[in-house]
Chains A and B, each alone.
Chain A
Amino acid sequence: MSALKLKKGVSKHSAYDLRDPNADVDEPHTLAVIVDNEPGVLARVIGLFSGRGYNIDSLTVAEVDHTGHTSRITIVTRGTPSVIEQIKAQLGRIVPVHEVHDLTVEGPAVERELALFKVAGQGDKRIEALRLAEIFRANVVDSTLESFVFEMTGTPGKIDAFAELMRPLGLSEVARTGVAALSRGAV
């Protein structure tokens, strides 16, 4: 490397600038992918993950612009920093993909997930479930004499925590939407 004026890592575009690209520690990232809402687009995105051996922890999709027919896909994935860079670049190659945002690195973001919990039980357990639901600000959306269905919106962590508490109280089913996420602030 002797005579070179430019040394490894000097350029801010350098791969060596991405923390440690060789680190083999997986970290979770939330990606927002804006796509044309056309047949097969979700299959392309999922096929990319399965075909190249990447993980999907959570995935949500819906058309968000009905005039432009674009959908927003929110993917929570995990990988080493260089794998995450590859995932983003590979997503960017898909023809109907317009934008790829990494909400985990682009600044603060809010993440929310909606979940429904069916809790069956009687007596004290039933009362305790209702009390905890109130603390977690979960709504009762269905009730019978032996069961409740609670609805809750929150971070994935909060939903996990609520599910843990409900388990001994008769939790029988959970349905989760997966994460929706937006960056904080005006843009």
Chain B
Amino acid sequence: MAQTMTGAKMVVQALKDQGVEVVFGYPGGAVLPIYDEIFQQNDIRHILVRHEQAAVHSAEGYARSTGKPGVVLVTSGPGATNAVTGLTDALMDSIPLVVLTGQVPTFMIGTDGFQEADTVGITRPCTKHNWLVKDTANLAGTIHEAFHVATSGRPGPVLIDIPKDVQFASSKYVEPRKTVTSHYQPRMKGDIELITQLVDAMESAERPVFYTGGGVINSGDAASQLLRELVDATGFPITSTLMGLGAYPASGKGWLGMLGMHGLYEANMAMHGCDLMINIGARFDDRITGRVADFSPKSLKAHIDIDPSSINKIIHVDLPIVGDVAHVLEDLLRVWKSRGRKTNKEGLAKWWKKIDDWKAVSCLTYRNSDTVIKPQYALQRLEELTKGMDRYITTEVGQHQMWAAQFLTFDEPKRWMTSGGLGTMGYGFPASIGVQLAHPESLVINVAGEASWLMNMQEMGTATQYRLPVKQFILNNERLGMVRQWQQLLHGERYSHSWSESLPDFVKLAEAFGAKGILCTDPKDLDDAIMEMIKYDGPVIFDCLVEKHENCFPMIPSGSPHNEMLLGDANATNAIGAKGAVMV
């Protein structure tokens, strides 16, 4: 017998039935009935953030490090509008989230009531789908459908707007298994004829490369497993986007490192010179392609993606395979094996020789110093001292993010959380909170820039309240470093507003929140300071004062092709032409 209950109780019941353990939220008038229900139960843990944007980023961190959807609860009006940046971030990076917002009662909608906003209107372009529930009878079914939509196909954020009278009214609860199945059932299996054609190409290719992205990680652990098997069995080189790091281990023998604007020389050169490109779960983003007209001019291109709209959007491909990565890789491996595991051994050997020459360029080389901490050095030490540990990394956005991607290594998926598509400063700290909640025993480090970190610094309150020992590793260059770099390369070294002036004393700031602060200014103290941070059982702000004018290389200047990378400062100033200057 279906139970009758209030809408507010239904919300909590539906979340429980969906297996939700943690909700990130912030209360307000329009969600009080739901908060009242949360108060009266113990199955779902509510984490009180300090800003709704942080609730969404925390949920993203939780989702990306677990593979489960993240759940957010916020009030109407300003609660909902504060969530917009997080929703957009999650949409760009395909992160499954279910966001519940309160709304003014149905009879007040449209009257410009107190804290009324057209939430479904505002969030329509930044959610995968959203709903305004006007009748309690539909509430439970809508929540179950929301979880289905958020997690199936290409994952993404969804939002349910729940007017307050719908929360108070009663109706019959509908269980997940009784919910009518939606027509939204994305295709999982790839076209076997195309997969066979890809095997054909793989058997003869002289210069193949795997180009993988966040889609591998989103497809689940099986996809990463299959990818490893495929790469290692074929002996093909593999590079990955920022979002896909860890799907194939950095210690694996096929690994070329990250590609793209600040990717490794060998990875970008391999993309440019390959004769077969196999894109698995990546989307030819402009940070990857550089100048589209000159992108990998000689290659046959295959693209495996669950979202048909990703295919031929930017780069035209020869073998478009629509399907879930794990399903397609399984078929691909099966067909390739059944045909005798053939590859072009001779071609491959020559290809690897060429790649090894590119590797010998050592594109990540930088000039170290024994008086100033170089940001690259700080990350190398962090990597060295934490490598074997059960470690999760989040980042903010800027130079430090790119250096982190270059210098930290990941051998497993779901260990690296960064804002890729939207590039949201302020993402990393709340994301680290979400990760730590999901993995209480693990070491969670947010590699931050001082400017980004300040954007959500209020979350120190959340970290200390819930005793989350997140480590805020701030590479403090007292600059909006990435902006400064572009101004140097593009705007005649006129550094318009790219300073971080009036920075706080981060050690005192930590102490003000009841956390630990560590200041490090000398390369000689770095190892000890990092160990002190790791060993401390509680949140830490690590203020690492680094070289202020370091630039992040390699760099493909915007508007340039892959084979025109800048490797160092010598040839960098004014390297971006007029056409590139209009790109971001």
A3-B204, A3-B205, A14-B317 known; 14 new pairs, CB 8 Å cut-off, are A3-B275, A3-B344, A4-B206, A5-B204, A6-B200, A9-B318, A22-B316, A39-B132, A82-B312, A89-B309, A89-B311, A89-B313, A95-B129, A98-B183
**Is B300 a contact partner of A8 (Cβ separation < 8 A)?**
yes
**Is B124 a contact partner of A86 (Cβ separation < 8 A)?**
no
Q: Taking the complex as formed, is B320 at the interface, i.e. its CB lies under 8 A from any CB of chain A?
A: yes
Q: Taking the complex as formed, is A15 at the interface, i.e. its CB lies under 8 A from any CB of chain B?
A: yes
- Counted as pairs of residues, one from A and one from B, with CB atoms less than 8 Å apart, the total is 95
Which of A7, A89, A95, A96 lies at the interface centre, i.e. has the most chain B CB atoms within 10 A of its CB?
Answer: A95
Q: Taking the complex as formed, is A126 at the interface, i.e. its CB lies under 8 A from any CB of chain B?
A: no
Q: Taking the complex as formed, is A47 at the interface, i.e. its CB lies under 8 A from any CB of chain B?
A: yes
User: Which of B191, B309, B318 is within 8 Å of A16, CB to CB?
Assistant: B318
User: Which of A5, A8, A90 is within 8 Å of B318, CB to CB?
Assistant: A8
Nearest residue, chain B, Cβ from A40:
B120
User: Which of B124, B182, B317 is within 8 Å of A40, CB to CB?
Assistant: B124
Q: Taking the complex as formed, is A93 at the interface, i.e. its CB lies under 8 A from any CB of chain B?
A: yes
CA gap between A10 and B125 in the complex, in Å: 37
User: Which of A1, A15, A94 is within 8 Å of B298, CB to CB?
Assistant: A1
Q: Taking the complex as formed, is A113 at the interface, i.e. its CB lies under 8 A from any CB of chain B?
A: no
Q: Taking the complex as formed, is A44 at the interface, i.e. its CB lies under 8 A from any CB of chain B?
A: yes
Q: 0/1 per residue, A45-82, Cβ < 8 Å to B?
A: 00100010000000000000000000000000000001
Q: Taking the complex as formed, is A85 at the interface, i.e. its CB lies under 8 A from any CB of chain B?
A: yes
Q: 0/1 per residue, B293-307, Cβ < 8 Å to A?
A: 000001110000001
Q: 0/1 per residue, A1-43, Cβ < 8 Å to B?
A: 1111111111101111000011000000000000010011001
- Report the interface size for chain B: residues with CB under 8 A from the other chain: 39
Nearest CB in chain A: distance from B218 CB, A: 15
Q: Taking the complex as formed, is B197 at the interface, i.e. its CB lies under 8 A from any CB of chain A?
A: yes
CA gap between A72 and B183 in the complex, in Å: 16
**Is B200 a contact partner of A5 (Cβ separation < 8 A)?**
yes
Q: Which residues from A are CB-within-8-Å of B308?
A: 89, 92-93
Chain A interface size range:
35 or more
Q: 0/1 per residue, A147-185, Cβ < 8 Å to B?
A: 000000000000000000000000000000000000000
Given the known interface contacts A13-B191, A44-B124, A82-B316, the answer about A5 and B309 at a Cβ–Cβ threshold of 8 Å is no
Q: Taking the complex as formed, is B288 at the interface, i.e. its CB lies under 8 A from any CB of chain A?
A: no
CA gap between A44 and B128 in the complex, in Å: 11
CA gap between A36 and B180 in the complex, in Å: 14
Which of B120, B197, B309 lies at the interface centre, i.e. has the most chain A CB atoms within 10 A of its CB?
Answer: B309
Q: Which residues from B are CB-within-8-Å of A15?
A: 311-312, 316-318, 320
Q: Which residues from A are CB-within-8-Å of B183?
A: 36, 98
Q: Taking the complex as formed, is B276 at the interface, i.e. its CB lies under 8 A from any CB of chain A?
A: yes
